[in-house]
Amino acid sequence: MDSKTEAAICATLRELSGEITILAVSHQPALVEIADRVYRIADGKAVSQQVTAPNSMVN
């Protein structure tokens, strides 16, 4: 995806993030950087989980 489209998607996700749950799968660092939680997958298995927002609730 080009940088203009990536910026538009990131802006929209930021606007919606407090209102709805969003699940995104991406190789784009900019999308990963705005996530509250990041799950890394390797060989079809979740290998790590990172909570990036200080007030996130993890169940």
Report residue 27 as tokens: 């190789």
> Mean of the per-residue pLDDT values for the chain?
83
What residue type is 47 in one-letter code? V
DSSP 33-50: HT-SEEEEEETTEEEEEE
How far is 32 from 27, CA to CA, in rounded Å?
8
Q: Which residue has the higher pLDDT, 53 or 39?
A: 39
Q: What is the pLDDT of residues 1-12, one digit of tens each?
A: 888 998 999 899
**Percentage of residues in the chain having pLDDT higher than 90:** 20
CA angle 39, 27, 54 (to 5 degrees): 40
How far is 37 from 12, CA to CA, in rounded Å?
17
pTM exceeds 0.85, yes or no: no
